[in-house]
Amino acid sequence: MADYSSCSTENRNLFTPCAACKFLRRRCLEDCLLKPYFPPNEPMKFIVAHKIFGASNIIKLLQELPATQRADAVNSLVYEANARMRDPIYGSAGVISHLHDQMTKLQAQVALAQAQISNLQSQNANLMTLIPKQQSLSDHHYPFQDSTPLSYDDNTDIWHLGETTWESFWS
């Protein structure tokens, strides 16, 4: 028989029952060991932990721990219980293994992306060495610069480049 002494009926001063006492159909007293960790508005928290570990084991564990570590212990129990519900074989170890595999794959993708970036940067540097330095426009020689005169006729609003003529765009 499980020991539920943390929820004894000696003191008749009743409060709102915690989720654990409500589920176990016990009177929840002011000094209930489970009340701070299983509030009445979170019944599934206790139900899952109870299904995997049992109420008596949860109470024994909490009694053995200092009060400062109990909240963390309950959070760990509930997390492990939820993991065991999803994966009865591996529990949270299965989750950790899955996350580790994801991390390994993502690290490989990051390494590949960094290698591609490095490759593109080196290709860019190689292309920049192949492109000659840009010359100023005054140094550049255009084929018609010396031989073909460019003129503008104000009367007809026409540009003349050698024997070729263009009408002005502003007419």
What are 156-167's pLDDT values in tens digits? Answer: 656 555 555 555
The mean per-residue pLDDT over the stretch 91-100 comes to 92
- Decide: 23 and 47 in contact? Cβ < 8 Å: yes
CA separation for the pair 75, 84 (Å, rounded): 14
Overall pTM surpassing 0.85 (yes/no): no
- Decide: 48 and 31 in contact? Cβ < 8 Å: no
- Decide: 94 and 102 in contact? Cβ < 8 Å: no
Average pLDDT score, the chain: 79
CA separation for the pair 163, 171 (Å, rounded): 21
Residue 89, classed as helix, strand or coil, is coil
Strands of 150-153's sheet in order across: 150-153, 158-161, 164-167
Indicate if the pLDDT at residue 110 is higher than 80: yes
Q: What is the pLDDT of residue 114?
A: 95
Q: What is the pLDDT of residue 5?
A: 52
pLDDT classification of 143: cutoffs 50, 70, 90: low
Higher pLDDT, 160 or 20: 20
Residue 151 DSSP code: E
Q: What is the pLDDT of residue 13?
A: 46
Q: What is the pLDDT of residue 65?
A: 93
Other C-beta atoms closer than 10 Å to the C-beta of 62 total 20
Indicate if the pLDDT at residue 9 is higher than 60: no
At 119, phi and psi to the nearest 5?
-65, -45
